[in-house]
Amino acid sequence: MKKLYFTVVLAFMAITTQAQVDRSIMPEPGPSPEINLDDPQRFELKNGLKVLVVENHKLPRVSIQLTIDNPPVAEGDKSGVGSLAGSLMGNGSKTIDKDVFNEEVDFLGANISFGSQSAFASSLSKYFPRILELMADAAINPNFTQVEFDKEKEKLLTGLKAQEKDVSSIAGRVQTALAYGVDHPYGEFTTEETVNNVTLADAIQYYSDYFVPANAYLVIIGDVDFKDVQKLVKKNFTPWTKAAPPSFTFSKPSDAQYTQVNFVDVPNAVQSEIAVQNLVDLKMKDADYLPALVANQILGGGGEARLFLNLREDKGYTYGSYSRLGNSKFSSSRFRATASVRNAVTDSSVVEILNEIDRISKEPVSAKELKNTKAKYVGNFVLALERPSTIANYALNIETQDLPKDFYKTYLERINAITIEDVQNASQKYFNAANARIVVAGKGSEVLENLEKVSFNGKTVPVKYYDKYAAATEKPDYEAAMPEGVTVQSVIDSYFEAIGGKTEVDKIESLKLVYEGEAMGTKIKVEEKRTADKYAQTTFMNDAPMMGVIAKGDELYMKQGGNKVPLPEAMKKDLKNALGIFPEQGIAAGGNAKLTGTEDVDGKAAYKIEVPGETMQVTYFYDVESGLKVKEMQVINMNGQTQNQEVTYKEYKEIDGIKFPSIRVGTMGPQLVESKLLEAVINKDVSDVDFD
């Protein structure tokens, strides 16, 4: 009875208390939560290595992070040497074979990785002594061999080749080069030529010069004892020879003198890559560092920011538009507002981005925007504290960025103290629409006419032209006259004559082609079957069918295993342009193809024929001299995703009176895959050709 009485009283008290709360008034926010970050224990070796240790015994794990805080390095005509040096590290050591090293790390369930001036390891705490020993040995006594160097160099060159036609890679390269200058460490870029200049001796010298302890920090966090760490670090890292990196200076970059468009013509682009950028001098220790971050978050920090809401949600120009604000204690960094947009709205997108940058500098942000942004920062900050890597980075930042010891302990308090005026002051200081460099990489034949008409604040924005390596160039000439009599049909006729003659081509009723190559240790075979009105392509990996595309009658579907996935009607319509024994037969019959000029392919001029489509756009290239098809580029737009495919055709050989390319080189992700012709079967009984 007493228990029942007590329960009733509690319930009555709760109801009474609830009745006294005025829910029409928003409660006052409480004080910022107190952030309890463990201060790292610190010691330093005689060779200059600084060691920070944070004991955390919640889980039996430990992480080890080595960071060498050197100034940026200019690699010049051997750009890529740092990347090669970093990729060679971690291949065992001078005392431990690569395979033995990797097997032991895997056996212990650990992870060890290296960069050109960094290293990281993690493991269960009971394996910490051995993992630290392995990491130190591989860092101090790396095993640089000619065999591994040649492998890594080939990987780097292959990656560069795959990026040659990639619009985002071209855009990123030109953006940094124009912002800083190609002689600045942040503006230089790696090319096939600079990589070929690098030798094994260069990589070893780079390591010797820059992987040194003078500016090195070792951060260890986890289930460890400080005294044990001291003993182990001294034992394993004392042999690291005391040295400092070479010192050199580089010129201070400067912004454009006036707002301008810097245009890069990328003929295969189906979207324009836009970056509105300017240089900033922002350091983490600056008083307005946090207000600047908040201002950038409101402008372009995510899906709720102004750029995204304008260009995607309101205008539908893009799938996303964002801004980023960098900081550096060594040099100027960049503010960038970016978007990848449809060709037709390139000029309009530039104007909208400029307008948003201008607006946040001239008009105060709303109280709601500021409140929501603060809440996001608070939430992200608190969640990040759960990760050991966060604590390591915070400790490292305090050491390397000249921050006060309580920088992160008072972080939330300072975020919540930011005012609307603080945000506007930071916007005016770091977002510069008056001297903006607008870098646009896109298909000039479709975007330049309107881009040259862009005006901002009542003034026409001038356009300057650059090539894919940031060198000033002339405006592209899209009106260059073709030789008299050269048309889409004449180019196709020349192609048919080159492969065997129109008469022989017309005799073909069915065709089967099989090409085989290798990528990442996997055998890849592509089998293609064609008749006048049917098409089937199947991709095999290690002889197992993985995926197919089938077109027959009114059906168009993708085949994965036993499943048929219908493809959109728009794609079916586009694919009809490429049906026939040879796609050129469909091109000629379709009537939509355009001869758009010539382009260099492997050092020789080639005619370009573009076949537009709603979901699939294809460009074919035919050697001006021989008439043979030398390249094909395909761009597929589906479900908001864009996929680029490029194939180069080489070394034609004759089979049953018809010439076929014996080698096809195409892209698979970031890798180039060379495939060789295994089989070409002409006029097999059509009824026996399987299109299922």
Q: How many residues appear in the chain? A: 692
The number of C-alpha atoms within 13 Å of 91 and in the hemisphere containing its C-beta is: 15
Closest CA to 536 of 650, 692, 338, 425: 692
Kindly state the tokens that stand for 194.
Answer: 């600079």
Answer for the pair 604, 622: CB distance below 8 angstroms, yes or no.
no
> DSSP per residue over 179-223, as a string?
HH-TTSTTT----HHHHHT--HHHHHHHHHHHS-GGGEEEEEEES
Partners of 647 in the β-ladder: 632, 666
CA–CA gap between residue 102 and residue 92 (Å, rounded): 7
| Secondary structure (DSSP) of 626-678 | T--EEEEEEEEEETTEEEEEEEEEEEEEEETTEEEEEEEEEEETTEEEEEEEE
Q: What share of the chain is helix, strand, coil (3-state, %, to 5)?
A: 35, 30, 35
Sole residue written with tokens 């979901």? 615
* Rounded mean pLDDT for each run of 10 residues along the chain, 692 residues in total: 36 42 58 68 96 92 96 94 95 93 95 95 96 97 95 92 87 97 95 96 97 96 96 97 89 92 89 96 96 97 95 92 96 96 93 97 96 93 83 90 93 95 97 93 92 94 96 83 85 94 90 89 89 87 86 79 78 75 81 84 88 84 94 75 80 93 82 87 65 54
DSSP 532: S
CA of 421: how far to CAs of 325, 369, 425, 685, in Å? 19, 13, 6, 79
| CB atoms closer than 10 angstroms to residue 632 | 18
Read off the pTM: 0.77
Using only C-alpha atoms, the chain has a radius of gyration, in whole angstroms, of 31
Q: What is the dihedral of CA 449, 451, 452, 455, to 10 degrees?
A: 140
Strand partners, 449: none
643 exposure class (CB count in 10 Å sphere: 0-12, 13-18, 19+): exposed
Contacts of 204 by beta carbon, 8 Å cutoff, 6+ apart:
85, 144
Instruction: Dump the DSSP string for 288-343.
Output: THHHHHHHHHHHHSSTTSHHHIIIIIIT--EEEEEEEE---SSS-EEEEEEEEEEG
Angle at 400 between CA 394 and CA 403, to 5 degrees: 65
Give the type of residue at 643: Q
Which of helix, strand or coil describes residue 238?
coil
Instruction: Return the closest-CA partner of residue 53 out of 67, 38, 75.
Output: 38
How far, CA to CA in Å, does 502 sit from each of 370, 466, 497? 70, 42, 6
Q: How far apart are CA 86 and CA 152, in angstroms?
A: 10
